[in-house]
Amino acid sequence: METLTPLEILSFGAGLPLAGFLRGLIDYFGRVAMYDWLVVTIELFLIGLVVYWVVDFLEGTRGERLFRGVIFILIAGVLILNLVVQQFGFERLQYLYKGFLIAVLIIAVAGFQPEIRRVLIRIGQPSFLAGSSRIAGTVEQIITAVTELAAARTGAIIVIEKRVALGEFIETGVRIEARITSELLKTVFQPGTPLHDMAVIIRGDRIVAARVQLPLAELGSVDGVELGSRHRAAIGITTGSDATCLVVSEETGTISLAQNGKLIRGISESQLRYYLTSTMGEVTAPALGPRLATAVAGLVERFRSTKKTKT
């Protein structure tokens, strides 16, 4: 009696389409197994770096959701074509899908227009030379606004976004997308204006949104002083993220700073400059650190030595 293979059993139980699908899948992994695994590892590592950079750049923006949709369409389409469609020779469907991909790319370019513009501007800027001066200018604009608001006893709360995106909170406010200036910050928090209530969120050297609602920490006190709503919001937003938050008290004109869920009250201008400079430096620092660069160099060197050995 002839013994059936598992693939033949599946073909009888689930039909020929499933058998053809599994055969194509096995053939695909068989071809992959013949590649040089070191080369494949380096290629996948480099692709991962590019995807990580794109996701990190788009994180917290509306383009992030569009990017996920485009990636899903591309991956799903490629898998369906390679593992199902080509197995049955659906040439017309494959031709239509290629035209559909071109349309998707055109729509993606139109949808990513603000992000593409930001990338081109960033590439055109001499970051090593202009980065420190840009940070210093942004810090001085914030310090000027905060000190003048404190002198006038005008309440304010300013959140500086770092690595953890605050997109869910930004959506609750009013989009501004304007370069940071002391005049703009003072105008936003001027009593009687539509945006003066709640918080302002800063990303890099731009004011992203105003009138943003933040989560409030539990009732409590610091150094025997009962906390108001702004100080509780500063503790709440810095507890759930790595953001830095500045608060100006409208009762006393005191400047406070919150980080990691802890509030520092009554900081001076020099302390404020120190904290802001370190915070903005973390925001603009490149995502790839020395350890990652060392790892990349090690992989490349290992690849070269392997090639020399084979030759």
Closest CA to 249 of 258, 261, 260: 258
Cβ(194)–Cβ(284) under 8 Å?
Answer: no
112 band by pLDDT with thresholds 50, 70 and 90: confident
| Better pLDDT: 233 or 85 | 233
| Better pLDDT: 83 or 95 | 95
Cβ(284)–Cβ(277) under 8 Å?
Answer: no
Cβ(241)–Cβ(166) under 8 Å?
Answer: yes
Average pLDDT, the chain: 76
Is 189 a residue whose pLDDT tops 90?
yes
Cβ(153)–Cβ(251) under 8 Å?
Answer: yes
Cβ(197)–Cβ(191) under 8 Å?
Answer: no
d(CA 94, CA 98): 6
Quote the crossing angle between the two packed helices 113-124 and 37-58, to the nearest 10°: 100
d(CA 233, CA 50): 36
Least confident of 67-71, 99-103, 304-308: 304-308
- pLDDT per residue as tens digits for the range 229-242: 899 999 999 988 88
- pLDDT per residue as tens digits for the range 215-264: 888 765 555 567 888 999 999 999 888 899 999 999 899 999 999 888 99
| Better pLDDT: 280 or 161 | 161
d(CA 278, CA 99): 49
| Better pLDDT: 158 or 282 | 158
Residue 294 per-residue DSSP state: H
Is 14 a residue whose pLDDT tops 70?
no
Cβ(68)–Cβ(1) under 8 Å?
Answer: no
Is 274 a residue whose pLDDT tops 80?
yes
Residue 227 per-residue DSSP state: P
Can you read off the two tokens belonging to residue 33? Answer: 């197994």
* pTM beyond 0.85: no
| Better pLDDT: 117 or 18 | 117
Q: Which fold has domain 129-284?
A: YojJ-like (1 (3.40.1700)
Tell the burial category of 279 from Cβ atoms under 10 Å away from its Cβ (0-12, 13-18, 19+).
buried
Put the strands of the sheet holding 255-259 in their side by side order: 174-179, 206-212, 199-203, 156-161, 244-248, 255-259, 262-265
Is 69 a residue whose pLDDT tops 70?
yes
For position 187, what pLDDT does the model report? 93
Cβ(168)–Cβ(97) under 8 Å?
Answer: no
Cβ(264)–Cβ(231) under 8 Å?
Answer: no
For the segment 132-154, the average pLDDT, to the nearest whole number, is: 88
Cβ contacts of 289 within 8 Å, gap of 6 or more: none
